[in-house]
Structure formats: structure tokens, C-alpha cells
Amino acid sequence: MNRRDFLKATGMSTAALALGTTGLMSLGEYKVFAGTGKNSKAAGRYGPLVKDPGGVMDLPRGFQYRIISEEGGKLSDGRPIPAKFDGMAAYAGPNNSTVLVRNHELSGNTQYPVIGKNPYRREETGGTTSLVVGPDRKLRKEYVSSSGTIRNCAGGATPWGTWLTCEETLEEGHGYVFEVDPHDPENKLSKTPIRDMGAFSHEATAIDPATGIVYLTEDAGPSYLYRFLPNDRSQRAGALQKGGQLQAAAIEEMSTKETSEFYTGRKYDIVWKDVDPDKPTLDAGKKGCIAFSRLEGAYFEGGVFWFDDTSAGDKSLGRVYRYIPSTNTLELFYESTDQNDLEMPDNICITPWGDLWIAEDGGGVDRVIGITPEGETYVFAENKLNNSELAGPTFSTDGRTFFINVQSPGMTFAIWGPFKRKNAARRRLMGHATPPAAYAPKVSDKLSAFAEVQGMSDLEAVAFERHGLPIL
């Protein structure tokens, strides 16, 4: 959809647009004044959603947005802004600015490819761009930061200030993770695959800052949960290139005799099995690792690794898990059984004040859904422009601006308003909170009683039960 078609579709006139700092026409900021949200669950932490008069993004009262980048516009050097916006992270920049690194899920011929000066493979059209956004939330600069890759879907920020961009492909010579420095674009590191992290259909990554262990999700069917044990734990740019061991998660194997005596108090555990990085999916399957439906988002916060399975469950509406490394505990936190509750969770994050935010990719009116540590749920945003997914939710380092993408036509939004203040203790609390009753996985009385006797939580017991372990 070009700009003229967009204006026609939304019924807006050019008088409703503002001239951006790059000379591009882009939607200007505005306040939402009136209206009510159609979903009753929107009346949560920030109140019901207000209808956007432009028909683009519904937000709660008091919040504003600005579209700071659109596919087909112009980068700072005059080249077109690439299409298919996806995963993203925010970093502190000079003079109180924010630097965003944004993925482009592109492959093959495309109208708006990523064209870089130092590509991994010159014939490929994927990669990343970076945006420098001032404290006034206006775009200052936009440029290519890596190129020559395929289907850069998600990835993850590192504790040392770089971005791991992941290729979601099985094409020969691809399917790798690359490290991008937002302050040193298109350097040698950005075009060097981290081969020991495996060649598979990568989705997202998240790093435990206490250990330097990298957790990785796979977007395939079936898909597996991996972790990467780096040889170099110095947590600096380039350290992951020094190799390490790739492993996949499995449920601890028990003999028939051990299973029959499970009532004595022995718990099941997660074990991590070494896999061949050149064929990890095949190896994980042969070694009996946990087969998920299709893994997507990943986020690490407060000692807890969060991830989701976008098409799992009886109705294929998705699940959200959390893994706690210190106790080696896998829990099924959230299991959707109704499209109005959650439809196909994708990218996830923990907000600066401690709520879990989930971006949907359900093929309809996609939303950002929030869950509080106290068990409250709410809808923060709805994409009204088209049926394209929301992607790349991330907050500026000061916690005052929320950035998110609409994938197609590609748009990057800066959203601000009466956000809660940063709260580190509450962020840690979210990792151990009880899920909202309506959203939690359904557990039979028998399974719950059995879990209590064995010293397991319901969430831990149901995670094993959903993956075929006959613990009853």
C-alpha cells in the first residue's frame, strides 16, 4: 500500500499529516480524545481503548503516537527504507537519543530490499536498519546496519549493547545468528555468522546476564528450545564468535521402574542435550527433546526466561512459558482457549514497571496484551490499519517511549503517555507471579493434588503433562 492508497483507505487528508524531520510525510502526533474500546478486557490498567480517528492504532486515553518510519520512504542516504519490519530493540544514544535496531524479514526479489555496503551475501535482501530518535521522539537519522541475510525475523538484545539478528530460514548457507553493533553499523561482525549457535530456522534470542547463556527459539514445526553455552563469557561484542556448545531442552528420561515409583517424591527435571550445530533440529528430534508447536518470542528478565509457542494448544491459539534456570523449572504460564483472550502470541517483553506485554500475530486485528504481576489483564493497543502483525515491542532505556512495528506496510511507531515509573522489584516479581485465572492453563484436581504431593507447582506439572509425560 503506497501513501496515496493509505490516505484513501483511512479517509485522511494531507492536512492531517505532518512533515517529518527527514523531509518525509508521516503521520504526526495527536491525542486521542473520545471513544470506547470494543473489548471489555481493554478496561484494565490504562482504561478502555479510544478509537483512533485516523483508523491506524487504538490506544488508551492520554496516549499519543508518531509514525517515525515507513517502508518506501528514504533513509538518510536517500535509498529506500526496506520493507517487512519485524524484531527490534532500543539502546541509549548520544545526546539523550534512542538508537533502534530493526529487523527486515525479507528474502528474494522485493521492491524495497536492504542494500548495504558490507553484506554477508550481496545477492540477499534481508538485514537490519537503525534509527536514531531524539528525546522529542522525532527521527534524526536512519541507516542500514547489516545486510545480505535472509528473513531477519526476530532476535534479541545483548546485555553488552548489541543486537543478535536471526535468520528464519533453512536455505543452504543461511539460518544463522549475526551480531549487530548499533553504534558501528555494517562492521565485520555484522556479516560474520555465529556458526556454533546453529543453522536452523531461528526466531528469537534472550541472554541470562548472570551467566552469559543464550536461549534461542526455533520457528519451525516441530520446533525446539535451545541454549548456547559460550566459550567466552566476557559478555562483550565478538565474544560469541569464539564458539560454544549448542544444546536442546528435553525432559529427564526415567526408566519404567522409576516412573512407577514417582510417588516417592522424585521430580522430573529439564535436561539439556548437546546437539550438532550443523543439523540441530534433526539431532534434537532424534534425542527425544521437547517438541513444541512453533516457538516465537523470547525475553529474559529477573532470572526468568520467557518464551511463547504461537500455535500450541487445543485451539492452536498459543501458549506462554517461563523457564527458571536457578531451579531448572519449566512452567506453562498462559494457555489461550479464546481468541478474545489471546490469539497467537509472538514478540514479548517485560515493561519497565514489570508487566508482561505480548504482541499478537493472529491474522486479524492484532493487539498488545498486558498482564500484571497481580493477575490483571488488559489491552494496550490494537492495530486497525490492516491484518498485518505487530512486531518488535521495545521501550527506550528511560522507559518513557514504547516503540513497535506494523510489519506490512512497514511502519515504526513511537508511543508515549502516562506510563508507570520504572520498578525493578516488580519486574522480578512478574517472573514468579500466578497467572490470571481466566488465562492460566486448565489443571485437573487430580493433577493439582498430585503436584502438591510431589512438591511441584501446578504450572510445572502441567508443562510436563502437555508434552506427553504420563505423570499420572
What string of DSSP letters covers 11-47?
T--GGGEEE-TTS-EEEPP-B--S---SSGGGSBTTB
Asked if residue 289 and residue 195 are part of one domain, the reply reads: yes
Asked if residue 138 and residue 71 are part of one domain, the reply reads: yes
**SS3 label, residue 433:** coil
Q: Are 349 and 393 in contact (CB under 8 A)?
A: yes
Q: What pLDDT shows up at residue 290?
A: 97
Asked if residue 185 and residue 207 are part of one domain, the reply reads: yes
Whether 40 maps to a domain, the answer reads: no
Asked if residue 270 and residue 192 are part of one domain, the reply reads: yes
Asked if residue 464 and residue 352 are part of one domain, the reply reads: no
Asked if residue 459 and residue 413 are part of one domain, the reply reads: no
Asked if residue 458 and residue 335 are part of one domain, the reply reads: no
**SS3 label, residue 143:** strand
Q: What pLDDT shows up at residue 437?
A: 84
Whether 43 maps to a domain, the answer reads: no
Report the distance separating Cα 15 and Cα 364, nearest Å: 29
pLDDT means per 10 residues in the chain (472 residues)? 42 32 35 36 71 94 97 98 98 97 97 97 98 98 98 98 98 98 97 98 98 97 96 98 98 58 63 98 97 96 97 90 96 86 90 96 86 92 88 97 96 97 96 90 90 88 88 62
Report the distance separating Cα 134 and Cα 389, nearest Å: 26
CA atoms within 13 A on the CB side of 370: 26
The CA-atom distances, in angstroms, between 3 and each of 13, 67, 132, 288, 410 are 11, 13, 23, 50, 12
Whether 5 maps to a domain, the answer reads: no
**What DSSP letter does each residue of 346-404 carry, written as one string?**
EEEEE-TTS-EEEEE-SSSS-EEEEE-TTS-EEEEEEE-S-SPPEEEEEE-TTSS-EEE
Number of compact structural domains in the chain: 2
Whether 35 maps to a domain, the answer reads: no
User: pLDDT per residue over 226-256, tens digit each?
Assistant: 999 999 999 999 999 999 999 999 998 754 4
Provide the CATH number for the domain around residue 141: 2.120.10.30
Asked if residue 253 and residue 195 are part of one domain, the reply reads: yes
Whether 28 maps to a domain, the answer reads: no
Q: Are 248 and 275 in contact (CB under 8 A)?
A: yes
Whether 372 maps to a domain, the answer reads: yes
Asked if residue 464 and residue 366 are part of one domain, the reply reads: no
Q: What pLDDT shows up at residue 313?
A: 86
Asked if residue 448 and residue 435 are part of one domain, the reply reads: no
Task: Give Cβ neighbours of residue 2 (< 8 Å, ≥ 6 apart).
Answer: 72
The CA-atom distances, in angstroms, between 17 and each of 24, 432, 471 are 10, 45, 60
Asked if residue 199 and residue 170 are part of one domain, the reply reads: yes
Q: What pLDDT shows up at residue 362?
A: 75
Whether 3 maps to a domain, the answer reads: no
**What DSSP letter does each residue of 163-231 carry, written as one string?**
EEEEEB---TT---EEEE-TTSTT-TGGGS--GGG-SSBEEEEEE-TTT-PEEEEE-SSSB-EEEEEES
Asked if residue 204 and residue 150 are part of one domain, the reply reads: yes
Whether 467 maps to a domain, the answer reads: yes
Range of the domain at 458: 444-471
